[in-house]
């Protein structure tokens, strides 16, 4: 009779263990993993069609998307050319370390993190040439890391 009780206890223990493992797998831990998934594909920038060729694309009547890659110590494309009287969304990522993306004289300013995409939308009006600078220390060439945004 004792053997049957032990058997029953063992079976219950095993079921309990399976239950707790299953609970762990569908619990909040899994959601965390998808939250931290990088915005850039694990294949890297060259495998990500948005950034393998940094460029400006027309996406609406007066709407443009600018895909920009920051890397020690440049921005690409350079210059970033966008039409006057339009809305431009910049999608900016980094090929190496943390950089900044600041359009001088405007409030367009973002931190640029490898593996992530910073997004900022601006309205541009008159034709004008803007400076573009990196405002996060990124290495020996940080102080010369700059580009241009040309509104034409």
Check binding of 142 to ligand CUA (CB under 6 A). Answer: yes
Check binding of 132 to ligand CUA (CB under 6 A). Answer: no
- Choose the binding region for ligand CUA from 6-14, 16-24, 56-64, 133-141 (rule: CB under 6 A): 133-141
Site map 13..32 versus ligand CUA, x via CB under 6 A:
--------------------
Check binding of 136 to ligand CUA (CB under 6 A). Answer: yes
Check binding of 148 to ligand CUA (CB under 6 A). Answer: no
Task: Name residues contacting ligand CUA, limited to 71-90 (CB under 6 A).
Answer: 73
Count of CB atoms within 10 A of residue 87's CB?
A: 16
| Cβ closest to ligand CUA, residue 56 vs residue 138 | 138
**Applying CB under 6 A, which of residues 40, 95, 103, 145 lies at the interface with ligand CUA?**
145
Question: Closest distance between ligand CUA and the C-beta of residue 137, in Å?
Answer: 6
CA distances from 140 to 73, 96, 99, 116, 136 (A): 9, 14, 13, 23, 12
Question: Interface residues with ligand CUA (CB under 6 A)?
Answer: 73, 99, 134, 136-138, 142, 145
């Amino acid at each position: 009779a004792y053997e049957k009780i032990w058997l029953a206890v063992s079976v219950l223990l095993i079921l309990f263990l399976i239950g707790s493992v299953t609970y762990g797998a569908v619990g909040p831990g899994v959601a965390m993993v998808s939250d931290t998934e990088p915005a850039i594909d694990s294949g890297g920038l060259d495998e990500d069609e948005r950034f393998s060729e940094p460029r400006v694309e027309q996406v609406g009547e007066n709407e443009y998307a600018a895909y920009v890659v920051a890397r020690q110590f440049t921005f690409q494309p350079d210059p970033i050319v966008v039409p006057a009287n339009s809305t431009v969304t910049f999608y900016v990522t980094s090929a190496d370390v943390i950089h900044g993306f600041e359009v001088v004289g405007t409030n367009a300013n973002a931190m640029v993190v490898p593996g992530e995409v910073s997004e900022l939308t601006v309205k541009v009006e008159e034709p004008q040439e803007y400076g573009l600078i990196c405002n996060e220390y990124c290495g020996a060439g940080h102080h010369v890391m700059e580009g241009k945004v040309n509104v034409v």
